[in-house]
Structures are given as structure tokens and as C-alpha cells.
A and B are shown apart, each in its own frame.
Chain A
Amino acid sequence: MIIAERKPMEEIKQAMAPYKKVLVAGCGTCVTVCWVGGEKEVEILASQLRLARSAEGNEIVTLEATVERQCEKEMVTELKDKVAEVEAVLSLACGAGVQTMAELFEDKPIFPAVNTTFIGMPEKEGLWVEMCGACGDCFLDRTGGICPIVRCAKGLLNGPCGGTRKGGKCEIDPEKDCAWVLIYRRLEKQGRLDLMREYNPPKNFRAVKRPGRIQAVKI
């Protein structure tokens, strides 16, 4: 899923400074699951904004709404009436959600309240780790299902780099596992260590033509 992280409050406050009435809009999918943009976070951010502004003696009115997926026009349309009421929208969705919102409500400034950071998974309650770089040319079959592009600090396609620490930790961050040690161990378990000897040619990152566009087969 898409993982995001709340922007610094200072930035949000500054962005909201000119407005007296805003809509804080959450998204009920990825960002809800990673605890940054669901109904709960919408409520907290709105409350924070109100507190901040009332301390300045410059009250702000906040409307709150969370749609199931902010990246779907049909679902965002539900917010039409609320958007009409406010001067600006503060969106807690990923970049796709913010843009959907911006496209639907062209006359209103839409501000992102979160930074969309990566595609990842929960390692445990409340901790998300990056798993996929969305490179568009997946070779997980050759690396035992572990992606070195995002999980190796250097993004090496052929590793390890030679700087692996004792215990299989990364030389750049001793807290993190060396992805290539993980790959080695996984392949060892599968009896496919010969893959370690094979050279992975440089990736063709042009596999994804920007902007990315995928047309599913019509059924």
C-alpha cells in the first residue's frame, strides 16, 4: 500500500494562514491503514488547527470529511457541497488523491497535508517499511522475493557491496538489515544460490514512461 507521513505542522499552518474556513479531507484507503490520513487523523489535524488559530486569536472553521478513496473521482464528488462552503481544502490523501481533488474542484486551492513517501507494508503495529520502488521492471524472481532497489541502501542490483557489517547489517545504517544478506539466505533456503553468481544487468528504468499509464484489458 501507499505510505505517507504528516507534513510538519509549521508548513500546514502557514499554508492555512490566509483562510478562515477550510475542509480537512481524509482518505479511507492506504493512508487510513498507515495512520496518517483516515477519519481519526482528520479529526486530530482539524482540532490542532483550531487550537493553533484560536491561540493566535484568529479563529478558523474546519469542516471534516473522509471519503473511501480520494483517488476516485466518483467518490470525491460526494464532497462537492462541503468544498463549495470553504475557501480551501487540506487533503490528507496521497499525491494521487490530492490531484483528483484538485482536478474535480479546479477553482479551489487544494493543499497536501501529508508527504507521500513510499510503497510499503507494516512490519509491526505502527511501523511501515518500504518494499517496492515501483520501478516498472520487476525482478523479484531473481532475488528471492526481496527487492534490493529499495531495501539496499545503495539500491545495488548486484550485491552485497562489501561493506556488510557483522550480523548482516547495513554499513550505512547498522539498524537495518543488508538486503543482499537477506537475499543470500533466502536463495540458500531455496537451493538457488547459483543466482547469486548471475549478473543482473543495469535496469531499464525507462520501462515506465512518465507519466505512467496502464490500461487494463477491457472485460
Chain B
Amino acid sequence: METRIGIFLCNCGGGMKNIDFDAVAEKVARMPGVTCVNLVSHLCLDEGREKMIASIREENLDRVIVAACSPEFKEHIFRQALEDAGLNGHLLAMANIREQCSWAHEGDVTEKAVELIKMATNRARLLQPLERKELPVNREVLVIGGGFSAIDTALHLSRLGLRTTLLEKEAVLGTGTGEWQSLHGFDNSSMTAAVEGDRNIDVLASARMTAAEGTIGDFTVTITREGEEISRKYGAIVLATGFRTELAPTSTLKLRTQAEPISGISIVSQEQLFHMLHNSIVEAKPRTIGFMFDFSDENSRFPTLTTLNNALAAKNKWGSEIYIFCKNVKVDSEGAEKLYREARECGVVFLKCETTPRMSMDNGRVAVEARDVFLGEDTVIACDLLVAEELLLPIAGTETLSSLLNIRLDSRGFYQDENVHLYPVASEKKGVFVIGWCRGNLDMGRVLTDISSVVMSVHGLLSSGKILVEVERVKVDPQKCVACLTCIRVCPHGAIQLVRVDGDKEVAGISDLACDACGICSAICPAKAIKFQGYRDEEILAQIEAIGES
């Protein structure tokens, strides 16, 4: 059957003066298959849409071209108009004659506009309808971790009516929150108590995830607890596994690092210092304290906060002289600038060094030798107590979890967020989220933002119990697939698996739920067996062929 193409030209209420719309209309009307050309001044407004719907019905159109603004803005509105007229929304092609034609050039661009419409028309001829359908999703959420972000996420989700399981590898919740406590004085017992009283939250302690399969809305997870295997189903998985610290490796450190620094003269970690300040009785107050940070890891937002907090506390409690050796002080987290000012005001000395200071033992004190870039000379300071630089590292088991869930780690071994600017808490796998410390170095404000965005995302995804997907948008042709596994290896979203068709032939199969429609598989398939509706080779090449045709 001959296609019946309708072209709708919108002049945006006179916003495109360098296009002669009558000339465009005349030229595009001559293209084969074009049934009607309508010139409208505001296609996106109600009157325009109504006109469009009426025209689709009257002319019995089966392809629609909208030549107007960028599809980034109004494509969804026009798709809906098609649907309202009883036509599949995917039979629409847009020609961006405003942003990328009229507005981008100075002189008369009528010819270019005609060509853009021809490109869109060529593509439209090949477009195929795409069905959508609702698939049920499991409304339960698995949160892995037992720290602040994990617990808070579970509490929020529970309030929104989503059942949540907290999976903690330790015997009790909140064991790894030491640094948080030292920094923000928060008490985890009230949170753990809230969890205990919440019937929507199930706590699995001393347990680990040992297998996971499935896709968004339908994950099957195997949990091992005390040698016993439990299988459970979840709609979404949130990773909030936190981080660990380790003293930066320096040979001299090994000499005198003590597990329980009670005597007060030693090299300690930030957490040990916190305990000295708040819990232990210190026999001799350290007169001089040195701090070191930002030499091994540039991302020192958190070390800056802990250092400033602890330095201030030590100054107030012991009145010690305090020297801070660092490359840079990162004050972009909330309150850090104020802390830094306070520290300067009460006499804390900051030494900016480009290289890691040398340390040596000197009569039970630690001599720190550094070159301050502003003074321009070497300085030696003998400290009674040196708070060593700490490395922030992903917790043990991060690699195992990442390979079980098939999500990537970044260069430092933390979970890679999908897009740091646009979708910070999403992982590359739909339905798996990473929040808080386990995705890198954050501060409290950022962790709270993470928690709220993951709660919103998960709620949006699962609350209705169903999810709308496009059916076979990206599809493998089982006849052409040679099961070379290339697509399975390259799919960034883990959406492709081997499936059996026609009884037993094994071919690649794409999950509509997990697929994020990038088209990487269809570009790489050596057998050209993968078709991405709307962006098939034919559809892309048809646009190229239209260029310069006239």
C-alpha cells in the first residue's frame, strides 16, 4: 500500500523569518507519497494539535512529518497527537528547522529547510509502529549495607509503602558508622531502633548476596546467611555499602603505629584521635599535633572535614599547637569554609606542600619535614602526635558485588555512577542504584541528596507495581543471529542474554525491561542481526541519501 505522508510545517508564530514557508510547502508537496502539507503557526498549542489530529484522520495519514522546533522540546506532544488520532506514535519524524536551521544561520535557509524535511520524510517512510505494554514489577526493594545511607533509605522507602530488606554483612546494623559519628555527632541507635520497629523493613544481618540474576522489576537474589541459602525476589537493588579507610602507606609509619594509642605519643588515624578526644583518658596532653592529608588522593573532601573538625576539637580540649600539612584544602562541602576560617582564627597553621612530607622518629616524637610553597623553605616540626593521611577505599567485597550484579567499578574501585551529572545514583544497570560512600568520596550533604534521589527513583519505578516498556524496540533477528556473543559482551546495561528459540537454537535475546536503547549492539553486530526501531541502518542511511538530492 502506498504510504500516505502528511507534512506539518510550523512557522513558530513568525519566529523563523529566514525561511520562505510557502516555497517550502510547495517543494515538499512534490515528494512522492506526500498526501498533504499543512502550514500552521503554532503546532504545539491546542489549536495546532487539533488541526493535526483532524488532518491525520481526514487524510487517513500513516506517516507524519513535523517540521518545527527541536524534537528535544515537543516530540512527546506530537507523538501524543498521533496517538490521539489513532496512529502509532512512532510513525512520526521531525525535521528540526528552527534551532538547527533558521536560528543557526543568518541568510535565507529555505533550501536547507526543504532538505531537512526531505531527510525526515525519507526516514519516515521506513518507520515502523512500536507497541508499548505494561509489565508487572516486584515492589520489594533490596538495600545492601547497614550504615547511615542504607538505613535512612530503607526508612524512607518504608514510609512510602515499599517493603525493604536491609542486607548487612555484620551481625548488627550501624557498625561501620564510626567516622560519621565523629563528624556529625549522630547516634545510630535511634536509627536502628526505628528500623526494628518498622514492619515494612526486614533486616538480614550476617548475610551476603551470593548470586543475582534478572532485570529491573524482577531480580532474583540468592542470600547466604550462616551457611543457609535464601532466594528472594526484588524489583530494585540499592547498593549503600560504604567505604573503609587505611593509613596511607609510608615506611616510617609502621614504626610506631599503635592500635590503642593511650600513651598519647604516636602516629594515629583520624578515628583513633577522635576516640582519644572523646572517650579515652590521655595521660599527657599532646603539645604539638600534626595532620596530613590530600597527598595520595586528590579527592579529599571528606579528609578535609574530619581534619578540620578534629583539629578544632583538639585545640579546644588540649590547647595543642596544630600544624596541618596538605596540598589543598577542599572547602566545597557544606560548612567546610566556616570550619576552615574558625581553624585559622584559633591559630591552626596550614602548610601547603607539593610533595609528601618526610617523617622520622625523634626521641619519641615524630619529626615532619616539609617544604611549604609559600615560605619557600624547608620546615621541620616535631609533633607529639601525628594524624596520618588516610586512604579512602571501597570496602572488601565491592568487586564481588559488582561482578554479581554486572556493574562497573571506577578507577579507584568504587561503584561507577551512570552519569555523574545527570543520573548520579543510577548504575549502568537499570534497577540497580549506588548511593553514598560506595560510589566515591562524598560529604553529608551529598549523601542526603543521594538518599532522596534514590528514594524518588525507586518509588517512581516500583510504586505502581507495573512499568511501561516499548516492546522489541531493539530486537535480535533469530534467523540472522550467529550467537557470536559480541552483543552480550558489549551491552553496557547487561540487557542481553542467550535465549533459546524455536525449541533449542540459542541466540541473543534482549530484555525489553533492561534495554536502555543505546544501539551499541546493533552497530557492532557482525551479522547485522540487531534492529533498533527508529534507528535502523535503513532509517539512518535514508537520511544520508536525501542530502543534496535536489
Contact = CB atoms under 8 A, between A and B. Distances in A.
Interface of A: 28-29, 32-33, 35, 38-41, 43, 66, 122, 124-125
A32 B526 contact: yes
Interface stretch (B103-111, B170-178, B482-490): B482-490
Given A32-B526, A32-B527, A38 B482 contact: yes
14 contacts: A28-B482, A28-B527, A32-B482, A32-B484, A32-B527, A33-B484, A35-B486, A38-B482, A38-B528, A39-B480, A41-B526, A43-B528, A125-B486, A125-B490
Contacts of A66: 527
A66 B479 CA distance: 13
A42 to B, nearest CB: 9
Interface in B474-497: 480, 482, 484-486, 489-490
Given A40-B528, A41-B526, 14 more contacts: A28-B480, A32-B484, A33-B486, A33-B526, A35-B486, A35-B526, A38-B482, A38-B527, A38-B528, A40-B525, A40-B526, A40-B527, A124-B489, A125-B486
A29 B490 contact: no
Nearest to B523: A40
A39 B526 contact: yes
A29 B483 CA distance: 10
A150 to B, nearest CB: 22
B482 A29 contact: yes
A125 B489 CA distance: 7
A33 to B, nearest CB: 4
Given A32-B482, A32-B484, A33-B482, A38 B489 contact: no
A218 B485 CA distance: 33
A66 B525 CA distance: 14
A50 to B, nearest CB: 14
Contacts of B526: 32-33, 35, 38-41
A69 to B, nearest CB: 10
A29 B526 CA distance: 10
Nearest to B479: A68
Contacts, number: 34
Contacts of B484: 32-33
A122 B484 CA distance: 10
Nearest to B490: A125
Nearest to B482: A32
Interface string B520-534: 000001111000000
Contacts of A41: 526
Nearest to B528: A39
Interface in B526-546: 526-528
Question: Which among A35, A39, A66 has the highest number of chain B CB atoms within 10 Å?
Answer: A39
Nearest to A41: B526
A39 B527 contact: yes
B496 to A, nearest CB: 13
Q: Interface extent on B, as a size class?
A: 10 to 19
A34 to B, nearest CB: 8
B549 to A, nearest CB: 18
A70 to B, nearest CB: 13
A41 B489 CA distance: 19
A124 B484 CA distance: 12
A66 B528 CA distance: 11
B223 to A, nearest CB: 31
A93 to B, nearest CB: 13
Contacts of A43: 528
Interface in B46-85: none
Contacts of B525: 40
B480 to A, nearest CB: 8
A35 B526 CA distance: 6
A29 B527 CA distance: 9
A117 B490 CA distance: 25
B533 to A, nearest CB: 19
Contacts of A39: 480, 526-528
A124 B490 CA distance: 10
Nearest to B486: A125
Question: Which among A40, A41, A43, A124 has the highest number of chain B CB atoms within 10 Å?
Answer: A40
A40 B484 CA distance: 13
B65 to A, nearest CB: 28
Question: Which among A32, A33, A41, A43 has the highest number of chain B CB atoms within 10 Å?
Answer: A32
A43 B525 CA distance: 13
A125 B486 CA distance: 7
A125 B484 CA distance: 10
Contacts of B482: 28-29, 32-33, 38
A38 B486 CA distance: 13
Nearest to B489: A125
A71 to B, nearest CB: 14
B329 to A, nearest CB: 43
A33 B489 CA distance: 13
A66 B485 CA distance: 19
Contacts of B485: 122
Contacts of B528: 38-40, 43
Interface in B501-533: 525-528
Contacts of B490: 125
A163 B527 CA distance: 43
Nearest to A43: B528
A33 B485 CA distance: 8
A39 B530 CA distance: 12
What 6 pairs across the A-B complex have the smallest Cβ distances? A33-B484, A38-B526, A39-B528, A125-B489, A32-B526, A38-B527
A173 B485 CA distance: 29
Contacts of A28: 480, 482, 527
A125 B526 CA distance: 12
A97 to B, nearest CB: 14
Nearest to A125: B489
Contacts of A122: 485
B366 to A, nearest CB: 38
A193 B526 CA distance: 43
A122 B486 CA distance: 10
Contacts of A40: 525-528
A43 B526 CA distance: 10
Contacts of A124: 489
Question: Which among B480, B482, B485 has the highest number of chain A CB atoms within 10 Å?
Answer: B482
A69 B160 CA distance: 57
Interface in B435-484: 480, 482, 484
Nearest to A66: B527
